Amino acid sequence: MLKRILLFISILIVVGCSIPDFQNMGIPTWNTTFNLYILNDTYQAADFAEEDSSLVAYGDTLGLYETATDTGDIEFSSDPSSNNEFMEIGEIYIDNPDPTTTNIPLSQVDPNLVNGPIPAPGIAPFIMPEIVKDDVEPFGEFQEISFISGQVIISLTNNTAIWFGDVNAGHPLVVHILDMNDVEILAQSFSEDIPPDNTQTISESIDMAGQTMVNEIKISITGGSRGTDGQAATIDVDATLDIEVEVIDLVADHAIAQLPVQTVVDSVIVVLDEAITIFRGDIAEGNYTITLDIENSIDMDIEATLHISRLILGGETEYFSEIISIPRSGGPGQVTVQTEVFDISNSVLGEAPDYDSPLETIKLLVDATMVDSGDEYREIDFDDAFNVDIEVSSLEFGYVKGILDPKVQDPISGSTTLGIEYPHIIGTFNIVSFSTITFDFFTPIPTEMELEFTSFNADDESVQLIDINNNSNPILDIPSGSSEIVLTSDEYNINELISILPDSIYYTIYPIVGDSTEIFYYEEGDQIETEIAIESLLDFEADCWIIPKAQDGSPDVQKVNTQQFEEKFIDAFVDGNIILHYNNELGIQAGINILISQTSPEGFEELVNPDSTIYTIITVDDLMYPTSNEQDSIIVNVSREDLDFFVEDSVFIIPKLKLFSEPGSPVSGSISMQGELSLEIEVSNDLAE
């Protein structure tokens, strides 16, 4: 605070000649001098700077320096998307069933033939009747198949004495496969005739794509015969045409069958929070899970292995892998439901061991093996599926290496009280020095910060810090790590901020962490740390009065004992002045008004424009800059009316300093003043008594 300016008064009567003998000389008169020392003190600029003050002395120059520190937690998490996947069984693979066979004896082809030799030209060509065989052994591995792909191979071996088929005559042998209701499944015309006497087996292959096959079938043949082709022959009516039907390479989209092992491999992609690209993420300890809701409509038991690439559970060294047993549905239209929950707390996400590849998704690979049904027939369709609905809980990380898109954080707010007891200032006062606000930041993540920074003074005036180029809040780009950013009064209204003589600063910092490009490293508990320092030399532009304050914040008033000053001294007044000896080392032009009153002021307001009936004012307009180390002096006249205020037991004296300053002269040093009130009075017998 301002050092109190002490006003001392003492009475010295200096007699300029010997005192005459009044009785012998009548009523003589003479002039003498009456002196009052009313001011003897030094006003130090650095007296602003108390021990707990924000004003400090830089050498001989006074400046303002105030710091504040604060921290703000970083909220760091990822909200992965949920996803589901219908894992259809798709193509149904069935083991090749054993072939089924039948035979047709020659007696069924021509009942008129008898055993024995037949001379040439033998049996003439003829058209065979339709011969149906309904005693065919059923296929054992399936009951019904709708083919996606596969083949039926019909092989014929002729043990008789005649030819089957007469292609040249336009009557090839045709083999028909029928269901038990005589509905034709397929008919295959042989492109060559079947020779007699088991000399050759002829086979034809039929593509079954899009066809349906049942296990219980009938086989019939139609077509012509070349007879014995003009040759002599020996007839055996019990000799047969052997027919073999084989189904191979079965791939179905519908089957009622004894199902072998089926496999389905599919993946589910869970997208991590799009705002973050993770190279490594150590999931914090807590309730962090991957949940699988499974619905199985396939009538097969399933053993599914869940692989999660780039996820290593705590304490493990290999990527996540778990086996899930899923029971069969129980039949068409039925579904089994189950839920699997996997704890992934303390797990590590990323591509080990270097963690240099970005991870934007979590890939869950489901390798499902459907257990064979043994001897049981199961009905399944290609679109039978088990649905896997996967949800990854919101993840909090204990450690992250990654790149973050800008993400809004909670504001950091705080305030600081300035320990400055300013004098009472009347008039124009503006700081014009080069001032700075320095921010020392630590942030583990690149951060953009918008600052809302406001100063308040005791009169509830406020100024908000702005960028003078665009009239907006300062916005700072902070790289990761420790950094210092300095705002200067060339670009920001810092001087306006402190010219109101603030007693408190309030600030709110709005951080947005992440810059979409820079790799950052984050550990749980990392905070944004901020230290703010305001610094300015007290270089000001002023045309103002300063009234010093006392310890309690009231005007600094000196009570002076004037009991020895009597009315008769005023009656004898001839002339008077104040001789003020001063040394102005403040670096600025100054003046002083000495206010004298018989009552103590109640506050500063009455001192702004003092009532002349209550105060007399002794004005010293100009305390010039020093031209040497010696004191300068100035003489100011006083009037008889000024002296009327001293006719009391005591008076109250209040100094008002007048400051004139232009930019470029920071306040420093001190101003010292010694004031002497000198009165010339006329001495007579009455005064001598």
Residues 6+ apart with CB under 8 A from 354: none
pLDDT, tens digit, for every residue of 58-85?
555 555 656 666 666 666 566 676 667 6
Cα 475 to Cα 493: distance, rounded to the nearest angstrom: 14
Q: Which of 213, 142, 230 is nearest to 178 (CA)?
A: 213
- Say which CATH topology domain 95-257 has: Immunoglobulin-like (2.60.40)
Residue type, 415: S
Greater model confidence, 362 or 179: 179
83-91+259-404: CATH number = 2.60.120
Equal CATH topology for 83-91+259-404 and 95-257: no
Cα 593 to Cα 418: distance, rounded to the nearest angstrom: 29
What pLDDT does residue 608 have?
A: 81
What pLDDT does residue 130 have?
A: 95
Is residue 387 within 8 Å of residue 87, measured between CB atoms?
A: yes
Q: Which residues pair with 338 in a beta bridge?
A: 294
- Say which CATH topology domain 61-75+409-420+434-537 has: Jelly Rolls (2.60.120)
Cα 176 to Cα 197: distance, rounded to the nearest angstrom: 23
Give the pairing type, strands 504-513 and 412-417: antiparallel
Greater model confidence, 669 or 221: 221
pLDDT, tens digit, for every residue of 353-382?
889 998 878 888 889 899 999 989 999 998
pLDDT, tens digit, for every residue of 396-448?
888 888 888 888 888 888 888 876 666 667 766 677 778 888 888 888 888 88
Domain coordinates in residue numbering, the chain: 11-50+542-688, 61-75+409-420+434-537, 83-91+259-404, 95-257
- Check if CATH label 2.60.120 holds for domain 11-50+542-688: yes
